[in-house]
Each structure stands twice: as C-alpha cells, then as structure tokens.
Structure 1
C-alpha cells in the first residue's frame, strides 16, 4: 500500500472541557474521495476545522504528505495544498466573479491563472457567463459554484467540502455532484466530503466514515450507502 497523503491518528479535539472528537483514526490516499457522514453535532465540521488549522488537536497527530500539521496556521496548510470549503463560502461580495477567482489563485497558482480559469469555467459554464458580475448578486447555488471554483484556482491536492449541497435546489445539487464526480475520476485531487445527503455522497465517494457524538461508529465502502437510505438514516441519524 502507498503511504497516505493525509493521516489522522488518535485525534481528540476539545472545546474547553468538552470533548468534541475522540480517538479519530483515518488514512486518506491520493486520488480517493472519503465521506464524513452523521447528524448535526456529530463532529464532522470540527474535524475539518482541525485539519485546516482553525482548531488544534488536544491529542493525536495530523500529518499531511508525511509532515505534522498539528501546529500549523491555516495559511501554511493552504500553501501545502489542503483547502477547506466552509459552509459560509467566504466570498468577497463586492468583487466580481473574475476577481474572486483571481484571489483564489494567489496563494499557490498565480502563474497558472488562465489555464485554471478555463478549467473552472468548463466545470461551471454559469461562471463564465458571469465573470463581470458581483458575487453578492448571484444566487446561492451560483455562489457555491464560485466558492468551489475559487478553491480549484489554487490547484489543491486535498479539498475539504463541508455540506456543499446545503440549502441548494436539486438542479444545483446535481451540477455540483457531477463536478465532484469528475474530480474523483481525474484523480488529481483527494476529497473529504462532509454531507448529510447520503444519496449525493454515494455518487461521489469511494468509502465513508459515520460519526456520532465525536466518535467513528461505522465505516465502509460507498456501495453500502446505496442499499436502503431510510434504514441507514434510522440507524445512524436518529
């Protein structure tokens, strides 16, 4: 087996005295897509925040490309190739689509702007039509596409998606799902997908981890998510 590009070993995360994550072990290998599933409050976003440097583990080790990132600030982790797409999207609303995409390229791939812009517009033709439009005037689905596009402009090696389908219409969910499937098939970007929509997750990921109350309670191949969504929801979400 090749070495994992991201290793999470025995990780605990605390908010004050509250244990939010306990003894998390996950290995992520190059080019695969892994899902983190579970209800609100299960610890999924907490784990993403620890990986991207916004929280520090109370115990355990986080290693990216073989090097510890336990004490690295977020901007260093971004420059090493791990990007986090939060639920807030964090766009610059007064700037145009084009300018938001250019900002995305500055940390890692400024010289490849034109090539990466063409790639993003291939994934999301809507953005090509709106390059001069201010981000704040776009719909929620279009803003989500822009947030994903901006992340891709940095040529990430590992991309963390935090509930990309939340609040979106079925049409936008379908388009974003198709884009993530294309990324997985290309194999250049390793994906962690936090998602409550198990049907969407099953279409994108290779395997999953189910979290409950900060612990991993189940794991398996994506094919298991295609069996009976209602039964899985009752078992793990209720």
Structure 2
C-alpha cells in the first residue's frame, strides 16, 4: 500500500511540475537586437576620430545609419518561420541602435533580415514611425528611401581633404537590386530562441566591408566621391552583403 501511495505521489508531483512549467512559459519571447559599429575593428566615433580605410585613406566619419527590415526567425528542423509584420527600423550611430520585438514562443535557430526597404513600402514616403520622411532617409528628387548612408571626410597622403558620401538605395524604387538579405545561424554561436522569456542578440557592423568584397573601392581613385546611385552604389551594396554583420 505504501509503495502504491509513493508512486501516486510521484506522478502527481511530476504532473504538477510539468503544469507549472507550461504555465510559466510565456506566449511570446522578447528579443532585443543591439547593433554596434566598427571601422577596421575599432569602435565607431563620429565627428572627430580618424580611421584608415582599406585603400589607405584617412577617414573621419560624420554619419552612419541604415534600415533593417523584414526580420524573420526560422526553425531549420521543421521549417516554421515568423516574420515581424511592418517591421522597419532605422539604426543610427548618432541615435537608436537597438530593436525590441515580441516573437511567438517557439524554437528558432535562424535569423534573417534585409538592409533597406522592400518594393511595397519603398514606393511611398507617406508613412510614419521609422519610415517618416523627416528622418532624412528619402531621396530629395524622387520617391524612395536611402537604405544605407555613410558620410564623412577623407584625405590621402598630401591630398586636399574632401567629402565622402555614400547613399545606397535604388535609382528606380521598383528595383530591389540593392535590397540585401543577411542570414545568421544562431546555433553556431550558441544561441537559440524558445526556452527563455528574453533573449539579447548583439550584432556588429564592420564599415570597412563597404569598401572591400567582389570589387574594392579605392576612394582616392574615384572620379567622384559622392556615390548616390548607379554602378558604384551596386558595387558597395554587393560588397557589404558579404560581411557587414556578425553576431558577437
């Protein structure tokens, strides 16, 4: 009799423990994505500190910002995905560098997002939030958003100090040629979503990746150091898609 009572007690305790675990599991996971920026491995500072670009120029940055959109979490085992609805976020070295979102509780081991604005939203600037045109991320001469902006001043050897402007987007808002996807294997860095109520992901952007990749950008050899469209903008976007971001 005592043995039977012990078995019953263990079953009841086990059921209660499982029930408590189920009740404690939140319906959503809070995910905090924190972005930091470096240039040649050094923490980015605006308006003062000089860095060396891959092609040898001394460069003092004054502005660096970009849009993150279409964040998607995926379970690579069963194919389940969750994409953040209406998720368009402006990351700015001089401003916000963190995104906080709520994701339905599930197990995710993949993360992807785009730099830029998709065609559906890129064709309109009558929007609010981070897509508000007052954020100075729309083209002045036509509808459409700047996806990524880098500005500053450079000099090379004994050359005159000059400005560098990179405004990467699309000359034609209906084209998504510079709308670049970035994908991450969370498990490769010991991260996964599903067993915690809150998860923090630290992402680092290496600015030198704009200048190196499939085609290196030699700043002091450019006819114009204002890159605001055309083949050079495509080159820059193709470059940074290779290695702009890493999870730390």
Which TM-score bucket, shorter chain as reference?
under 0.3
With normalisation by structure 2, the TM-score equals: 0.23
Q: Larger radius of gyration, structure 1 or 2?
A: 2
Indicate the structure whose relative CO is greater, using CA pairs within 8 Å and at least 6 residues apart. 1
Structure with the larger helix share: 1
Structure with the larger strand share: 2
